Chains A and B, each alone.
Chain A
Amino acid sequence: MNSVERTPILKATGLTKTYGHVVGLDGVDLELYSGEILAIIGDNGAGKTTLVKCLTGAETPDSGHLELNGQSVNFKRPQDSRAAGIETVYQSLAVSPALDVATNLFLGREMRRKGLLGSVFRMLDTKGMRAAASKELLSLGISTLQDVSVPVENLSGGQRQAVAVARAAAFGSKVVILDEPTAALGVRESNQVLKMIRDMRDRGLPVIVISHNMPQVFEVADRIHIQRLGKRAGVITPESHSMNDAVAIMTGAMSAA
């Protein structure tokens, strides 16, 4: 593949974000191409989460430029990036514990009944949403969540993560961003989420994953963006570098060639 020729789906140039005297991002570039999993790694305080927040509109960068499919975009709120087709799974998951699985999947973009019931009486299509939710979960290979009318608080950590990822996968039309999706999970649950990430990529949806977990990063990522001290220290691939190299670049012991 000739990456010089390809236009990135999502492209950030020179993102800068400061909080008072603290420099969160210092002129960061990022490119995400179609059909790839891009991992973002870096030490604590390297600017991973700030970078992602600037991509989704949760934070507005002080300077820098964003392009989606070659079009210049400017996200002021998380809703803006969602409307543009970028779905984000935050570390805090952003699910409502008391509401059921299907309601959570469709929260903020509910389906209404057809005809007068929907247009005049604003009636929700609960059945339709439940059916669609089951279908979506099944298509992601989540066979463990058959009953979508269960409140999310009754689910295990992995199942909650699955709900959050399923929501992103269902509605993300251009990009899905996951912030530490496996941080709270056990081995088997982590593998499930990694499989979902690969499935999304295989369906053509590019994914950005922030992670601390080096083995997982090297297992799923096509390319790895390394943040260090608010800057992009380098972009490597699991083939070109070893895990030790990645850690060395992260900590500044080595520079990315």
Chain B
Amino acid sequence: MTTTSNAAEPSMAPMLDEDFQTGLTKLQRTRNTLHRYPVISPALVLITAVVVFGLVNDRFYNPQNLSLIAQQVAVVGTLAVGQTLIILTAGIDLSVGAVMVMSALVTGQTAVNHGVHPVIALALGFLVGMGAGLLNGIFVTRLKLPPFIVTLGTLNIFLALSLLYSGGSTVRGMEMPSLLTWTGTGISLGSFRITTGVLVMILIYIVLAYALAKTAWGRHVYAVGDDLDAARLSGISVNRVLLSVYVVAGFVMALAAWIQIGRTNAASPNVAGDLNLDSITAVVIGGTSLFGGRGMIWGTLLGALIVGVFRNGLALAGFDALYQTLAVGVLIIVAVALDRWIRKGRK
């Protein structure tokens, strides 16, 4: 292809299309489509999983069961929103679970043990989340350390701070003001019971999907993750974009903390164990590239749902919890291998 504007040349518009589509095998064409619409593959996996698990055990389609899956997904699904933002900038955040725990403990402890007004207690939780995000962001942008190292460090720091602050004790939901456990309350639609926490999760997806797709900030997040130098030379203040991403992610983690309090009816220092990696799992299965710049927030929701559906479906089919973990492991490898394959076709 050339950029000649010679009138004797055939018009390039059809040629561009031709270049994509003709002379390609069906496989290559599929690959190009998947590349252009990265949400397709996780959506297909989810649909297949829902159909298969429904066939294996008809209790799967039970409204109570589907409501349960939604509730189980709410916390990880929310954390994964923050994780997606960071991975889109070609970073990674190992500290999401620790930040969430820290935020939940500050909210719970201040409200119950220090008698702080619940609104203030929540606000403190959000401040802690955003402050932790800011700290990660400062380390990444000012000290120029790789996000993996920074968040590996802050993961330990935040967990230790959480335990030091709480003395390892759990604040129980029944002692808390109702605002803090509001995310655990629900609305019943027939036999479906949707908790406020699930609705809050869906809301944060809508807000960030909009911000990423429809605002200049969103374009800049993609540009920074796609090619940092190109973004800088295009006049984007890359450090400001990165800092904003870490702070917004911190806010989302505090939101996850609130949902977590409602879901488990407690603010406990002992819940973070798997959440860091689970959030990365959701992002990766959702088709967002760990190399940055590619992916969609809705893919992450699908990824979180896929993990939830697999765990629930396998449990209903009578498999041990270890097989659920095994299945999730296979899913991750398959998802990343698929991403590799889709990408290779374009270069």
Contacts and interface: CB of A to CB of B under 8 A. Distances in A.
A107 B217 contact: no
Q: Is the interface of B mostly helix, strand, loop or mixed?
A: helix
Given A158-B3, A192-B2, A146 B235 contact: no
A147 B17 CA distance: 9
A177 to B, nearest CB: 12
Given A94-B234, A124-B219, A158 B2 contact: yes
A54 to B, nearest CB: 16
A121 B227 CA distance: 27
Given A78-B235, A92-B230, A110 B293 contact: no
Interface residues of A, number: 48
Contact of B3 (A90, A97, A144, A153): A144
A150 B231 CA distance: 18
Nearest to A187: B2
A162 interface: yes
Interface string A84-110: 000010101111111100011001111
Given A90-B233, A109-B235, A146-B12, A161 B227 contact: no
Contact of A144 (B4, B220, B222, B229): B4
Nearest to B35: A151
A82 B235 contact: yes
Contacts of A79: 235, 237
Determine which residue in B214, B236, B293, B294 has the highest number of CB atoms from chain A within 10 A of its CB, and name it. Answer: B214
B188 interface: no
27 contacts: A78-B235, A90-B233, A92-B230, A96-B222, A96-B227, A97-B227, A98-B226, A99-B219, A99-B223, A103-B219, A121-B210, A121-B215, A123-B214, A124-B216, A141-B5, A142-B3, A143-B5, A144-B3, A144-B4, A144-B5, A144-B12, A146-B12, A147-B13, A162-B3, A188-B2, A191-B4, A192-B3
A94 B229 contact: yes
A114 interface: no
A106 to B, nearest CB: 8
Contacts of A123: 214-215
B20 interface: yes
A92 B233 contact: yes
B16 interface: yes
Interface string B14-55: 011101100000000000000000000000000000000000
A153 B230 CA distance: 13
Contacts of A247: none
